[in-house]
Amino acid sequence: MSYSSTLLAGQKALVTGGSSGIGAGIALHLAACGAAVVVNYLSDADAAHQIVAQIEAAHGEAFAIQANVGREEEVQAMFGQMCDRFGTIDILVNNSGIQKDAAFVEMSLDDWNKVIETNLTGQFLCAREAAKEFLRRGVQPDISSAAGKIICMSSVHQVIPWAGHVNYAASKGGVDLLMRTIAQELAPHKIRINSIAPGAIATPINQSAWDSPAAAAKLLQLIPAKRIGNVDDIGRAAVWLASDDSDYVTGTTLFVDGGMTLYPAFAENG
């Protein structure tokens, strides 16, 4: 990591789905820059406590909170616990997400609802609680020039249609306009909201797409940069969006995708 260990000093961050994959990577990067971090998890308490232990071993501050981001009362309880312990929140990373894939005509309403509830409603509920606290507290100039920052984890599938994954693509398309609408509404209050749209990052959510040589070779055909991304690629982007280095950036999506959204099939076929 090449940035300063004090870049986010004094700031309090919440990372949803912080016990694995991209969320765990972001929690470690924010902590390495001096933020105190809440690691939210759904069910894997051991994994969440391991991330907390890793942060503490590096002399950072962290604790874990179980909550389902799709449930209003659990989200409100989580923010209550965070504010009791840390006093406030400066950075929300809306990272939790799931996939439940099926051909369109075979997709159950239950699988549609579960993905929308976690990936879209979960981001709405957490962003609303964070924004209430940002508005209550306002800017603390010695901490950050913003009253608060929200980073929404989107996907290249906010723009690339994805057959067999209509619930997921619809949820990420929804995240885009959720993010841009609240960015417009809250910018006058010095609250910044942006998205990160990862391409293919090797994590548990997409393991079958990269964990065999044949699958990895097929995936690489979609990536002009010719490598599969890793959680540090996303962690570094999150640090930038959370810090005052991006103070004039709001309502934008940062694609971290090795060029996946550049229509790679046209490189030799246009």
Catalytic (active-site) positions? 168
Contact pattern for ligand NAD over residues 171 through 210, marking x by CB under 6 A: ---------------------------x-xx-xxxx----
Smallest distance from ligand NAD to CB 8, Å: 20
Residues 6+ apart with CB under 8 A from 114: 98, 100, 167
Tell me the window of 1-9, 66-74, 82-90, 180-188 that interacts with ligand NAD (CB under 6 A): 66-74
Task: Compute how many residues bind ligand NAD; rule: CB under 6 A.
Answer: 28
Tokens standing for residue 95: 């990272």
Site string for ligand NAD, 223-262 (x = CB under 6 A): ----------------------------------------
Is residue 69 within 8 A of residue 97, CB to CB? The reply is no
For ligand NAD, which stretch binds (CB under 6 A), given 28-36, 94-102, 124-132, 237-245?
94-102
* C-alpha count within 13 angstroms, C-beta hemisphere, residue 94: 34
Considering only 155, 194, 195, 250, the residue that binds ligand NAD (CB under 6 A) is 155
108 or 230: whose CB is closer to ligand NAD? 230
Buried b (16+ CB within 10 A) or exposed e, 190-216: bbbbbbbbbbbbbbebbeeebeeeeee
The yes or no reply on residue 7 touching ligand NAD (CB under 6 A) is no
Q: What angle do CA 130, 100, 202 make, to 5 degrees?
A: 75
* Residue 97 touching ligand NAD (CB under 6 A): yes
* Farthest CA pair distance, the chain: 58
Rounded-to-integer distance, Cα 222 and Cα 258, Å: 9
Binding footprint of ligand NAD on the chain (CB under 6 A): 16-17, 19-23, 40-42, 68-70, 95-98, 118, 122, 153, 155, 198, 200-201, 203-206
